[in-house]
C-alpha cells in the first residue's frame, strides 16, 4: 500500500471510530475505542503528508462540540494530545499550533478543563514554546487562573506558567505580570498546601529574574515573601527571591517598602510581616557580604526598627536584636553619634519587651545572649577609642541590664561613675 493510500485508510478509520452524530445516538463506551496501534501509526508514520494534521482536524473538529458525550470529548482530547506530542517531536505541527490553541482557548466546557490543560501543556512543551500564539498566551493564562485553581490543577498550571515567564517573558505585558503577582500572592497563604506555595515561589522567582516588574507590585510581592520566609519549609526558597529582588533596580524601593511596613500602625500586630521585614533588611544590608548596589546608611534604617518594637512582640525584638548584632559587630566604622543613640534606645526597648512580653519566658533566654554580645562589642570599642556614641547613655543601659552583665562590665560602670563624680567635683 502506498503512502497516499495509507493516509486515506487512516482517515477512514478515524471517521468510522469518531464520527457519531447526536441524532444518531450514542450506544456506549465500547463502541468508542481508539486503539493504541492506530494512534502509533498516525504519530510515528514518517511519510504522512505535510497536511495530515489539517485533515485529521477537519475529520474530528465536531467531536469537541459540547453536545457530544463527555467520554467522547475526552477521547478526542486524548487523541489530539498524542497527535500534537508526536508531531511536535518531529517539528511538523506548523500553523496548526494556532488552531489547537484556539480550541483550548474557546472550548469552555467545565468538564473538559483538565483535558484542555493537558493539551496546552503538550502544545507548549510545558510552557517553553508559544509560537503562533505569543501575543495571546499571557492574557489567556491570566483569565484561566481562577478556573484552574477551582479545578484542583493549580500546581501543573503554575509549573507551566513558570516556564512561560522563564522562556517567553518578552511577550508578557507589564499589566499581565502585575495581575499574575496579585493572583499568586493570594495563594501564598498559611492555609495553602506547602507544595502549592513552593510552586508559587518558583513563579515569583522567575518574575524577578526574567521580567521587568513594576514598583507598584512591591507591597503585595514583599508581603507574600514575608509570610513565607517565616515558615521553616519555605524560608530557604524565600530569601533567595528577596536577595535577587534587592539586587535589581528595585532594590532601594524594596528597602523603602519594608521600612514603611515597619512603621505602619495597622500592621503592629502582624508579627510575621514585621519579623520578616527586619530579617530581609538586615540580610541585604548588614551581613558579612552585603549587596553592593544598596547604599542605605544605618541612620536611615534604625529609626524604623525602633518603630517596629511598638507592638511589644518578643519575636520581633529578637529579630531586631540579631540585626543590631550584625551591624555593631561588623560595621561599627559607619556608626555615627546619631546611630549609636538610636541603637541604645532600641536595645533598651528590647530589654523592656523581654521582661514584659507574654512570650518572654520562651524568648528571653534567646534575647539575653544577643544583647550581651552587642554590649561586649561596644565596650571593646570604648576600650579602643572607636565608640562614637554618648558614654553616659551607654552606661545607663549597663545599669539597666546590670543583673545580666558580667562582673568586668559592672566594674567598668563603677569606674565610669567614679570618674564622672571626680570631674564634677573638680568643676
Residue with cell 543590631: 324
Name which of 219, 220, 231 is nearest 193 in CA terms.
231
SS3 35: coil
- Measured CA to CA, the distance from residue 352 to residue 345 in angstroms comes to 11
Could you please report the per-residue DSSP string of 382-416?
A: HHHT---S-HHHHHHHHHHTGGGS-HHHHHHHHHH
- Measured CA to CA, the distance from residue 324 to residue 330 in angstroms comes to 10
H-run or E-run covering 17:
helix 3-18
Sign (positive or negative) of CA dihedral 43, 47, 53, 59: negative
Its pTM stands at: 0.87
pLDDT value, residue 45: 57
Per-residue model confidence as pLDDT tens for the chain (427 residues): 555 555 555 555 555 555 444 443 334 444 445 556 666 666 665 555 667 788 889 888 999 999 999 999 999 999 899 889 888 876 778 899 999 999 999 999 999 999 999 999 999 999 999 999 999 999 999 999 999 999 999 999 999 999 999 999 999 999 999 999 999 999 998 888 999 999 999 999 999 999 999 999 999 999 999 999 999 999 999 999 999 999 999 999 999 999 999 999 999 999 999 999 999 999 999 998 889 899 999 999 999 999 999 999 999 999 999 999 999 999 988 898 999 999 999 999 999 998 886 665 677 789 999 999 999 999 999 999 999 999 999 999 999 999 999 999 999 999 999 988 777 766 6
pLDDT value, residue 22: 42
pLDDT value, residue 34: 53
pLDDT value, residue 25: 39
pLDDT value, residue 323: 97
pLDDT value, residue 23: 40
pLDDT value, residue 43: 61
Q: Helix crossing, 218-229 with 194-210: angle to 10°?
A: 140
For the record, the C-alpha cell of 97 comes out as 499550533
pLDDT value, residue 19: 47
Domain ranges for the chain: 214-296, 313-427
SS3 315: helix
* Long-range contact set of residues 325-329: C-beta below 8 Å, sequence gap at least 24: 325/370, 325/373, 325/374, 326/282, 326/286, 326/287, 327/282, 327/286, 327/298, 328/374, 328/377, 328/378, 329/373, 329/374, 329/377
Could you please report the per-residue DSSP string of 156-216?
A: HHHHHHHHHHHHHGGGS-HHHHHHHHHHHHHH-STTS-HHHHHHHHHHHHHHHHHS---GG
For the record, the C-alpha cell of 367 comes out as 534575647
For the record, the C-alpha cell of 41 comes out as 501509526
Amino acid at each position: 500500500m502506498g503512502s497516499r493510500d495509507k493516509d486515506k485508510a487512516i482517515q477512514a478509520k478515524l471517521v468510522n471510530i469518531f464520527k457519531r452524530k447526536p441524532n444518531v445516538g450514542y450506544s456506549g463506551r465500547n463502541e468508542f475505542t481508539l486503539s493504541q496501534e492506530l494512534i502509533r501509526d498516525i504519530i510515528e508514520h514518517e511519510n504522512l503528508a505535510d497536511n495530515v494534521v489539517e485533515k485529521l482536524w477537519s475529520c474530528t473538529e465536531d467531536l469537541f462540540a459540547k453536545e457530544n458525550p463527555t467520554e467522547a470529548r475526552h477521547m478526542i482530547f486524548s487523541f489530539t494530545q498524542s497527535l500534537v506530542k508526536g508531531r511536535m517531536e518531529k517539528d511538523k505541527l506548523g500553523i496548526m499550533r494556532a488552531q489547537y490553541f484556539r480550541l483550548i482557548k474557546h472550548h469552555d466546557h467545565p468538564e473538559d478543563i483538565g483535558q484542555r490543560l493537558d493539551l496546552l501543556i503538550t502544545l507548549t512543551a510545558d510552557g517553553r514554546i508559544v509560537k503562533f500564539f505569543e501575543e495571546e498566551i499571557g492574557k489567556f493564562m491570566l483569565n484561566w487562573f481562577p478556573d484552574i485553581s477551582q479545578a484542583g490543577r493549580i500546581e501543573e498550571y503554575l509549573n507551566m506558567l513558570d516556564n512561560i515567564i522563564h522562556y517567553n517573558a518578552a511577550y508578557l505585558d507589564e499589566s499581565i505580570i502585575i495581575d499574575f503577582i496579585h493572583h499568586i500572592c493570594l495563594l501564598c497563604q498559611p492555609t495553602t498546601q506547602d507544595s502549592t506555595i513552593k510552586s508559587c515561589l518558583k513563579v515569583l522567582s522567575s518574575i524577578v529574574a526574567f521580567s521587568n516588574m513594576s514598583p507598584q507590585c512591591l507591597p503585595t510581592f514583599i508581603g507574600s515573601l514575608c509570610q513565607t520566609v517565616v515558615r521553616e519549609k519555605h524560608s530557604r526558597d524565600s530569601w533567595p527571591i528577596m536577595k535577587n529582588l534587592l539586587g535589581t533596580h528595585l532594590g532601594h524601593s524594596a528597602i523603602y517598602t519594608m521600612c514603611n511596613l515597619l512603621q505602619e500602625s495597622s500592621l503592629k500586630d502582624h508579627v510575621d510581616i514585621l519579623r520578616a521585614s527586619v530579617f530581609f533588611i538586615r540580610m541585604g544590608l548588614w551581613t558579612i557580604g552585603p549587596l553592593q548596589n544598596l547604599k542605605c546608611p544605618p541612620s536611615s534604617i534604625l529609626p524604623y526598627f525602633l518603630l517596629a518594637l511598638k507592638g511589644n512582640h518578643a519575636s520581633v525584638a529578637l529579630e531586631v536584636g540579631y540585626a543590631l548584632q550584625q551591624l555593631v559587630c561588623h560595621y561599627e566604622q559607619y556608626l555615627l553619634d546619631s546611630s549609636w543613640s538610636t541603637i541604645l534606645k532600641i536595645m533598651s526597648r528590647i530589654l523592656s519587651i523581654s521582661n514584659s512580653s507574654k512570650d518572654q519566658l520562651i524568648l528571653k533566654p534567646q534575647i539575653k545572649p544577643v544583647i550581651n554580645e552587642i554590649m561586649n562589642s561596644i565596650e571593646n570599642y570604648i576600650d579602643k577609642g572607636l565608640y562614637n556614641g554618648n558614654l553616659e547613655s551607654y552606661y545607663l543601659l549597663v545599669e539597666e541590664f546590670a543583673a545580666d552583665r558580667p562582673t568586668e562590665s559592672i566594674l567598668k560602670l563603677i569606674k565610669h561613675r567614679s570618674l564622672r563624680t571626680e570631674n564634677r567635683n573638680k568643676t
